Structure 1
Amino acid sequence: MSEAIHISVRTLVEHVFRSGSIDSRFRSPSTLLDGTRIHQKIQKTYQDSDQKEVYLRTEIPFDDFSFIIDGRCDGLLFREDEVIIDEIKSFSQPSEQLEQGGYPVHWAQAKLYAYMYAMDNDLQEIFVQLTYVHVETLVKTYFKKKYQFSELVTFVGKVIEEYVPYAKLLHEHRKKRNESCKELAFPFDSYREGQRKLAGVVYKTILDEKNLFAKAPTGIGKTISTLFPSVKAIGEGLLNRVCYLTAKTITRTTAEEAFKKMRSGGLCMSSITMTAKDKVCFKDETVCQKDYCEFANGYYDRINEAILDILTNETGMSREVIEIYAKKHTVCPFEFSIDLAYAVDCIICDYNYIFDPRVSLKRLFEEQKKQTALLIDEAHNLVDRGREMFSASLNKELFLQLKKEFKGVNQAIFEAASKLNAWFISLKKENPDKHEFTVDQLDEELIEHLIHFVECSEQVLQTETSQTLLEAYFMVNNFLKITELLDEHYVIYAEKIKNDLTVKLFCIDPSKLLKQMGKGYRSKIFFSATLSPLSYYQDILGGEEEDYAISIRSPFSSEQVDVYINPLSTRYRDRDQTKDSIVSAIQSLIKNRPGNYFIFFPSYQYLLTVYDQFKQKDAETRTMIQATGMTETEREAFLEAFKPNQTETLLGFAVLGGIFSEGVDLIGDRLNGVVVVGVGLPQLCFERNLIKEHFYQKGKNGYDYAYVYPGMNKVLQAGGRLIRSEEDHGTIVLIDDRFLQRQYQMLMPLEWQQYTVGSP
């Protein structure tokens, strides 16, 4: 029995016929919308007997495979004795740059549709027409050819023959993968307490096509507890792909290591780790143009060979592995990883590849989504990341700059920027005494000015380069996109900073849009040690009543950690008075219990104040301080200093919610304790107060939503650095009198609730 391979017409022809270079010279992001608009415009000119968006499907046996190919042709036209397949394509480059006779990939697409229709309707000949339409001038260029059915049979056979090596590679890999997934045993000698429970509920969630919110303690092994059952689900045919989403590089490494461990146990499964374009680019500047970058020049002529090579020889495609093969085949490492993402079994990447409407992996078709599970690591981070992804802002200063830059150079840009600058000035005049204020709604005049600015910018950017104009163009485009999403989950506000004025479309509640972007996937697993309280995270991350939720107790005993609450005030107004007492508490701790400690503060300024005071009193103790904008090498060196069995004390001063308070594993004596100064509340500000008021109006505790829950999350993350295994022991000191209040104690893990008031 032949194996069925389902593929769309477009995917097939793009694989076989795409050629040429990557060229990211300016192109309007509205091209896709223009394409849809133009398709509809052309289709409206069809005669009554003609058909549009005709679904066609065929099955072609080849070797041991049966290729099921389908798609929708733009038009099916009937003219006297002629049957015509019409393929409509929009283009924006000058008409003289249109390839004479049309592009091979477009002919291939139309010929495949022609083959299917002729086959189904027993036609011996059929016409194929390419209709090219310029997006601005709407000038149409037609290319038309007649094909005998026998010619199309030969053509389709050659296309399939070209595709077979890739199809065969994927098919054989998936066969091995599925068998190895079925046979794979849990890659450790035994489950930790709670680990089996988490793995079991993840598998059931995928089986039942549900979503899960899981609060699972630090050190339990959440990565393997979510990946292993997902791998088993692939073996059972429930899934074909897993996306492991995370906010931090360090947790991506943990996922890579989990795959290495499973592969050493016999797993045959491919994974890729996505890296941001500016980090992985080989050139000094990220300019994706063929005349600047040899990795962009001719990329599509070499990419199929590069993909076959890496998939034949590698399973774990980390950044380093991708770079090796990208250099070998002279292909752009970023675009290479994007193309590979559609072929591999697991994608390890940042949240934005799935949830950000501007950069998501848009080619994951609905059918593929249904066979894909999202594993969302450290899901508490998705709240603020979601707000960021769905918000947009504009500032006056940029338009003032453009006004100056284009005066006497380009009248259209000068006038468009002047109008926008004037709009900001009038908004300032309407609110003379306010530094921050809400705006009820955006007036139509602003939207018109912005649309006009985009149109003027597009004309200039086709032929000229201006960094300021390009920056403004993308900012305005993004702003206009977000205006389409505005609803009760948004607040519009303005903020004055010196002479500048910024208007922000602020997504206060990202739940609806996160749910929308995650729609269609078989299962979404949100997990973190600090999804506390679960009800808050279910609400704000777009959970629904039928979702599953689980809270797993820590496998570590309360005897492993000594918790002290020192009831000093760390409120802003009291900080000067209590900094001496905080320094004394740290000194008392290291005198009685020498070792390696992290000391976390709610802000960098507060950290510096206490650090200076500490150094005045104790110049001998070895200290390190988290610097702003540390490189990965500097971070690694910072953590490397925390060595086991040291004879002298080491204090690492760091910021709550920063790079060292999450995803850091310092096992055993590398870390002996954690001091947390303050309850982590975000700084009082206009934006946080808008969040507070918004949720109060929704009948929820707005102060908790805006301040308490995000703050305590940082505290729990910082404290979670300490106990990472059954052998770890240590001390946690919580410095703030509010830790004794019920609303904060309810958010603490059980093992912290056996505390002593005072200092060690």
Structure 2
Amino acid sequence: MSYTIAVRALCEFTAKQGDLDLRFTPTPTAQEGIEGHAIVTSRRDEGYEREVSLSGDFGPLHVRGRADGYAPRQNQLEEIKTYRGDLSRQPANHRILHWAQLKVYGHLLCAARELPAVRLALVYFDIGTQKETVLTEEADAATLRAFFEEQCGRFIAWAEQELAHRTARDGQLRTLRFPHADFRPGQRQLAEAMFKASARGCALLAQAPTGIGKSIGSIFPMLKASAEHGLDKVFFLAAKTSGRSMALGAVETIKRSAPLLPLRALELAAKTTACENPDKACHGESCPLAQGFYDRLPAARAAALQQNMMDRASVREVALAYQVCPYYLQSELVRWADVVVGDYNYYFDISAMLYSLTQMNGWKVSVLADEAHNMISRARKMYSAEMDHVRLRVLRKTAPEALRKPLDRVHRQWSALEKAQEAEYASHAVLPEKFMAALQTACTEIGDYMSEHPAWFDADVLDFYFNALLFGRLAESFGEHSLFDIEKSDGGRGAAAGRVNSVLCIRNILPAPFLKQRFEAAHAVALFSATLSPWNYYADTLGMPADTAWVDVASPFDAQQLQVHIASHISTRYQHRGRSLIPIAALMGEQYQRQPGNYLAFFSSFDYMEKVADLFAARHPDIPLWRQERRMDEAARDAFLARFRAGGEGIGFAVLGGSFGEGIDLPGDRLIGAFIATLGLPQINPVNEQIKARMEAAFGAGYDYTYLYPGLQKVVQAAGRVIRTTSDRGTVHLIDDRFARPEIQALLPAWWHVEAQNFSG
């Protein structure tokens, strides 16, 4: 059995040394790097070979990769690296790594073409000046072979360990049994659909009811598929912490049921939560956990892999014991994990680590996306960027003197855009060239300043810098999938009174062009949720492959468990809300008197919620009630949910689409009913109207794709809080006359039995 590894991955394992240092690397964007490579190779003579595929073996190792270029006439092999700024500021360990990669490619080339020697050339291309700095070294085949074997020798013990791990893992997975006595109703159907998707190597959309155990019902079949279909890794991605916790719990359950299974599960934490020194920059001269990071990494890595579960707490404990950064230790551990649990952004974002590693290493992976009804809104945010003029104005006064001139240029171009636009809101077909040029220059100078002052740290400048880099990167791919808009305000968002402020936004509205590559890079992708209807809305908007399979898992619940009533005599439209308050309060009061217990009441806004709550409290002072507050922290959210105790009574008032509309579990009589006083339709505003126009042009369903489907998704999610197990009983009141329309009811869960009912009041 051979162990395949990419040249870059081999050298990163064997040749990286010294400090973790991120100062030099972030300047050129990916697109600039591609363009830089193209410029360099276009300057070469006829006969120059680009992207030369090379591979070779050493013991069980199969090493492969693509060298950037080879000039047969000069017998020169080139490794091209793009940069911006002063090359002399490049950390020494970066240069060592580049030479290591080039020497390995040199050996593979000499072996493949029986060359006695080759000239090695590190070509550093300055994106700004378009100039090349070429460092060359003559190397004979014997020397390169010795270097290659030395690198392989350093890795081979680890490779043999990994091969043994993989063999043991797959052997145990082939005989793995479901960890419970039997599948829950619907759970087997979901698991079978997952396994078939892996067998076909296709994408899957699975609508599966809440309460059937989707986490273990998706992870278990994909682990079985890992052995059967040769998968390297399973990525389980979720929008919220609760989803990731359930996935980790499912993995623990599987491991307990199979004590001999050597399964490595890793939790990825966000940098904001994993960073131990948020006031320090990521390099050895600033942060002690970056100093000597690569020298201490081997021991920390070996210790972490001995943990039963590599969750956030375990990785942090190991990292601090070996004095390395927890965030970057977890990033290194991805290479050796079997199951990786994290947020959507780790695979689907513009700079997604899991996607990049999959591409670089040629991994065969399956991607599971939980609560996938969130994917559209989350993906749009991933490929959007916003900049606020107020923050730039403040930054110009507080930034170092050397950065004020480039920031002033951005400010002047920004002010010109404000003056040229009369309306408060406008969407523009093209990006402003002068502004973008000024922004790019500012990014360059901030990056150079950080390299020149390694001990300097300013959170506000860094926040502006990374946001501007994202803005620039999205500008490179700007097209019909996105909007560029400017929203002006007078003295708003912290601006001085009377001064015009504006927010610039590159706003993605159709994630499909960006996500298409992500889907194609995976062996299989499964998106699952209780609310994925209609399936074509998700498939179209997310850009899922044409052969995507669809399964609607039968519900384990029946209509007798949930009474669904439509209050067709009430309109919650904005213009009718004033006169809806009394009938809504009356309906809630009558339901509560008929069946006291714990209820949730959802409204379209805080203002609407508070008006109904005030009226209800005045009319029913004997009924306990509590309210969702604006900007609740975690402790406040926990306190809100704690009021829903078993055997308790009262009504919690909340906003639809907020913290309590999904992802909470209140089984039994902790929650016996819900009132939903809205269709959940997004607000009609200039941005949504622009989205509607684009959706109409792309799919011929502008209103449905922009307003109706996203709104009813939130309604069904909120109603789904009531019935959590097959023994639960409850009541849902859908409060709006539009719920009585056939086209609306067709989008509600098929197992519901919906009936219209009028209440007095």
Q: Same fold (TM over 0.5)?
A: yes
Of stretches 529-538 and 135-144 in structure 1, the one that deviates more from structure 2 is 135-144
Structure 2 residue corresponding to 1:477, chosen from 469, 479, 499:
469
Q: Secondary structure at the match of 1:659?
A: coil
Q: Secondary structure at the match of 1:72?
A: strand
Distance in 2 (CA, whole Å) between partners of 1:588 and 1:284 is 53
Distance in 2 (CA, whole Å) between partners of 1:594 and 1:401 is 54
Distance in 2 (CA, whole Å) between partners of 1:45 and 1:509 is 37
Q: 1:531 and 2:529 equivalent?
A: no
Aligned to 1:343: 336
Q: 1:55 and 2:36 equivalent?
A: no
Of stretches 268-277 and 283-292 in structure 1, the one that deviates more from structure 2 is 283-292
Distance in 2 (CA, whole Å) between partners of 1:410 and 1:554 is 60
Aligned runs of 1:231-242 on 2, under 5 Å? 231-242=223-234
Of stretches 441-450 and 201-210 in structure 1, the one that deviates more from structure 2 is 441-450
Task: Work out whether residues 403 and 445 of structure 2, in 8 Å CA contact, stay in contact via their aligned partners in 1.
Answer: no
CA deviation map 1:219-245 (0-9, x unaligned):
122222221211111120342211112
Aligned to 1:579: 581
Q: Secondary structure at the match of 1:24?
A: coil
Q: Residues 45 and 391 of structure 1: is their aligned pair in 2 closer, same or farther, counting only changes over 3 Å?
A: closer
Of stretches 728-737 and 354-363 in structure 1, the one that deviates more from structure 2 is 354-363
Distance in 2 (CA, whole Å) between partners of 1:364 and 1:342 is 8
Of stretches 334-343 and 46-55 in structure 1, the one that deviates more from structure 2 is 46-55
Structure 2 residue corresponding to 1:281, chosen from 275, 290, 303:
275
Distance in 1 (CA, whole Å) between partners of 2:118 and 2:9 is 23
CA deviation map 1:656-703 (0-9, x unaligned):
111222121222222222221211112222222222233334462322
Q: Counterpart amino acid of 1:314?
A: Q
Aligned runs of 1:707-746 on 2, under 5 Å? 707-746=707-746
Distance in 2 (CA, whole Å) between partners of 1:251 and 1:300 is 33
Q: Residues 118 and 199 of structure 1: is their aligned pair in 2 closer, same or farther, counting only changes over 3 Å?
A: same
Give the C-alpha shift of residue 652 in structure 1: 2.0
Distance in 2 (CA, whole Å) between partners of 1:400 and 1:359 is 31
Give the C-alpha shift of residue 22 in structure 1: 2.1
Aligned to 1:164: 156
Aligned runs of 1:362-377 on 2, under 5 Å? 362-366=355-359, 371-377=364-370
Give the C-alpha shift of residue 36 in structure 1: 5.1
Q: Secondary structure at the match of 2:2?
A: strand
Aligned to 2:667: 667
Distance in 2 (CA, whole Å) between partners of 1:576 and 1:37 is 59
Q: Counterpart amino acid of 1:10?
A: R
Aligned to 2:61: 67
Of stretches 293-302 and 575-584 in structure 1, the one that deviates more from structure 2 is 575-584
Aligned to 2:10: 12
Q: 1:543 and 2:544 equivalent?
A: yes
Q: Residues 135 and 496 of structure 1: is their aligned pair in 2 closer, same or farther, counting only changes over 3 Å?
A: closer
Q: Residues 367 and 147 of structure 1: is their aligned pair in 2 closer, same or farther, counting only changes over 3 Å?
A: closer
Task: Work out whether residues 268 and 342 of structure 2, in 8 Å CA contact, stay in contact via their aligned partners in 1.
Answer: yes
**Structure 2 unaligned runs (5+)?**
491-499
Aligned runs of 1:617-656 on 2, under 5 Å? 617-644=619-646, 646=647, 648-656=648-656
Aligned to 1:557: 558
Distance in 1 (CA, whole Å) between partners of 2:537 and 2:78 is 52
Distance in 2 (CA, whole Å) between partners of 1:401 and 1:350 is 33
Q: Counterpart amino acid of 1:391?
A: S
Distance in 1 (CA, whole Å) between partners of 2:172 and 2:624 is 50
Task: Work out whether residues 33 and 82 of structure 2, in 8 Å CA contact, stay in contact via their aligned partners in 1.
Answer: yes
Structure 2 residue corresponding to 1:21, chosen from 19, 22, 42:
19
Q: Residues 300 and 375 of structure 1: is their aligned pair in 2 closer, same or farther, counting only changes over 3 Å?
A: same
Q: Secondary structure at the match of 2:582?
A: helix
CA deviation map 1:407-429 (0-9, x unaligned):
9866742652243134223322x
Distance in 2 (CA, whole Å) between partners of 1:103 and 1:481 is 26
Q: TM-score, normalised by structure 1?
A: 0.90
Distance in 2 (CA, whole Å) between partners of 1:546 and 1:102 is 43
Task: Work out whether residues 85 and 444 of structure 2, in 8 Å CA contact, stay in contact via their aligned partners in 1.
Answer: no
Distance in 1 (CA, whole Å) between partners of 2:81 and 2:566 is 68
Q: Secondary structure at the match of 1:293?
A: coil
Distance in 1 (CA, whole Å) between partners of 2:683 and 2:83 is 50
Distance in 2 (CA, whole Å) between partners of 1:511 and 1:95 is 38
Task: Work out whether residues 403 and 413 of structure 1, in 8 Å CA contact, stay in contact via their aligned partners in 2.
Answer: no
Aligned to 2:425: 436
Q: Secondary structure at the match of 1:287?
A: coil
Q: Residues 454 and 121 of structure 1: is their aligned pair in 2 closer, same or farther, counting only changes over 3 Å?
A: closer
Distance in 1 (CA, whole Å) between partners of 2:341 and 2:664 is 18
Distance in 1 (CA, whole Å) between partners of 2:292 and 2:335 is 21
Task: Work out whether residues 602 and 655 of structure 2, in 8 Å CA contact, stay in contact via their aligned partners in 1.
Answer: yes
Distance in 2 (CA, whole Å) between partners of 1:695 and 1:48 is 47
Aligned to 1:599: 601
Q: How many residues align?
A: 744
Q: 1:112 and 2:113 equivalent?
A: no
Structure 2 residue corresponding to 1:331, chosen from 324, 341, 345:
324
Distance in 2 (CA, whole Å) between partners of 1:509 and 1:25 is 33
Task: Work out whether residues 293 and 325 of structure 2, in 8 Å CA contact, stay in contact via their aligned partners in 1.
Answer: yes
Q: Counterpart amino acid of 2:418?
A: I
The root-mean-square deviation of aligned C-alpha atoms, in Å, is: 3.0
Q: 1:213 and 2:217 equivalent?
A: no
Distance in 1 (CA, whole Å) between partners of 2:614 and 2:704 is 33
Give the C-alpha shift of residue 581 in structure 1: 2.3
Task: Work out whether residues 216 and 527 of structure 1, in 8 Å CA contact, stay in contact via their aligned partners in 2.
Answer: yes
Q: Secondary structure at the match of 1:519?
A: helix
Q: Secondary structure at the match of 2:336?
A: coil
Aligned to 2:28: 30
Q: Counterpart amino acid of 2:724?
A: R
Give the C-alpha shift of residue 250 in structure 1: 0.5
CA deviation map 1:117-174 (0-9, x unaligned):
444455666655545566656463635354571x545443332232123223322221
Q: 1:385 and 2:383 equivalent?
A: no
CA deviation map 1:458-501 (0-9, x unaligned):
44454466655544443333223223323333333332222212
Give the C-alpha shift of residue 74 in structure 1: 4.1
Give the C-alpha shift of residue 620 in structure 1: 3.8
Distance in 2 (CA, whole Å) between partners of 1:73 and 1:345 is 29
Q: Residues 714 and 290 of structure 1: is their aligned pair in 2 closer, same or farther, counting only changes over 3 Å?
A: same
Q: TM-score, normalised by structure 2?
A: 0.90
Distance in 1 (CA, whole Å) between partners of 2:623 and 2:338 is 50
Give the C-alpha shift of residue 385 in structure 1: 1.3
Distance in 1 (CA, whole Å) between partners of 2:93 and 2:283 is 25
Q: Secondary structure at the match of 2:520?
A: coil
Distance in 1 (CA, whole Å) between partners of 2:223 and 2:152 is 31
Aligned to 1:322: 315
Q: 1:307 and 2:309 equivalent?
A: no
Distance in 2 (CA, whole Å) between partners of 1:414 and 1:345 is 46
Give the C-alpha shift of residue 713 in structure 1: 0.6
Of stretches 550-559 and 404-413 in structure 1, the one that deviates more from structure 2 is 404-413
Give the C-alpha shift of residue 628 in structure 1: 2.9
Aligned to 2:497: none
Distance in 2 (CA, whole Å) between partners of 1:307 and 1:50 is 41
Distance in 2 (CA, whole Å) between partners of 1:102 and 1:322 is 26
Q: Residues 16 and 586 of structure 1: is their aligned pair in 2 closer, same or farther, counting only changes over 3 Å?
A: same
Aligned to 2:419: 426
Q: Residues 275 and 415 of structure 1: is their aligned pair in 2 closer, same or farther, counting only changes over 3 Å?
A: closer
CA deviation map 1:85-106 (0-9, x unaligned):
5545455574555678994433
Aligned to 1:488: 480
Q: Residues 482 and 153 of structure 1: is their aligned pair in 2 closer, same or farther, counting only changes over 3 Å?
A: closer
Q: Secondary structure at the match of 2:386?
A: strand
Task: Work out whether residues 247 and 341 of structure 2, in 8 Å CA contact, stay in contact via their aligned partners in 1.
Answer: yes
Q: Residues 748 and 199 of structure 1: is their aligned pair in 2 closer, same or farther, counting only changes over 3 Å?
A: same
Distance in 2 (CA, whole Å) between partners of 1:127 and 1:511 is 44
Q: Counterpart amino acid of 1:70?
A: R
Distance in 2 (CA, whole Å) between partners of 1:244 and 1:265 is 20
